[in-house]
Structure 1
């Protein structure tokens, strides 16, 4: 348990909220700059990141799951990544009816080298931290990924109430031209 209580804890939680918002915004801007540099859309870049974490080639349906896109949009995303040379489509050896999306190793190696040039030695960010502190960061990031996934699902299902619209729980205010 922490040594913080009362006011000090509230201040730290407030600071964490502000820093978290700044972190998300700075990462979005960084992601946009990297995507621009590579001639990709930011969503394409994030998909490419996610594909490098998969154990092997995936279906376009899996790309849709990873990105939250419809299968049609995922197909167009794969088309763009294929034109850029980062992925290729190949037949599944076990089921020739299936088409898999595979990353192109040479292009992924270039992609990783670019990240290394940008990030330098990212492990330097964690120098001086004890194993318990690193474990706390990893735990926080895992919980954040889980929480974000749950919130994305809520938003996409329309289960987010907009208190300003006076509607029942589960109602949403959609953006113009969009339906919940």
Structure 2
């Protein structure tokens, strides 16, 4: 198989991989009664070291500030988030995860991650490092692609 053949196969498998993850995310969202973007926002917020502003949520998700505000409204109504005034700067509002709701959210991810752990358990340390590097690089590329599309949309 040539390098061109491998790249063509990689492109096709990448499309399948992305589609399968989007569909998986939709299934998780449906199970939780949430929007798929809301699920990933909770996922990203669970990786943050503490409360964040709605502006930070916009940065994390690539949403406009208005869309991020509506997302926070939905998650607050669903019981996953609260809004509180920043004690150091009363003009700022911080968004904080609700621990009990996030515990239920985490339970589902732990249940689902068991199969992922089994899948990756067969890989060597070197293969796992390659996968981690690949995921980091694709995440960085995704951020750049989102910024490009956002700028293009703003220019139109």
State the TM-score, normalized to the length of structure 2: 0.91
In 1, Cα distance between equivalents of 2:146 and 2:80? 27
Q: What is residue 76 of structure 1 aligned with on the other side?
A: 70
3-state SS of 2:57 partner: helix
For residues 32 and 155 of structure 2, what CA distance do their matches in structure 1 show? 33
Larger helix percent: 2
Counterpart residue number, 1:55? 49
Match of 1:171 in 2: none
Residue correspondences, number: 156
CA RMSD of aligned residues (A): 1.7
Unmatched tracts of structure 2, length 5 or more = none
Instruction: Check if 1:146 corresponds to 2:140.
Output: yes
Of the three residues 40, 51, 65, the one matched with 1:46 is 40
Partner of 2:94: helix, strand, or coil?
strand
**By how many angstroms is 1:121 displaced?**
4.3
For the pair 1:118 / 2:112, whether they are aligned, the reply is yes
Residues 120 and 127 of structure 1: is their aligned pair in 2 closer, same or farther, counting only changes over 3 Å? closer
Distance 1:139 1:179 in 2: 33
1:4-54 per-residue CA deviation (whole Å, 9 max, x = no partner) reads xxx343333222211111110011111111111111111111111111111
Higher RCO (CA-CA < 8 Å; seq separation 6+): 2
| Alpha-carbon shift at residue 141 of structure 1 (Å) | 0.8
Larger radius of gyration: 1
Tell me if 1:31 matches 2:21.
no
Secondary structure of the corresponding residue to residue 50 of structure 2: coil
Partner deviation per Cα, 1:106-156 (whole Å, 9 max, x = no partner): 111110101222332422111232211111111111110111111111111
Unaligned runs of 5+ in 1: 1-6, 159-173
Q: Is the 8 A contact 2:62 2:147 kept in 1?
A: no
| 1:90 alignment partner, SS class | strand
Deviation at 1:157, TM superposition (A): 1.4
| 1:91 paired to 2:75 | no
- Partner of 2:145, secondary structure, is helix
For 2:92 and 2:148, locate their aligned partners in 1 and report how far apart those are by CA, in whole Å. 31
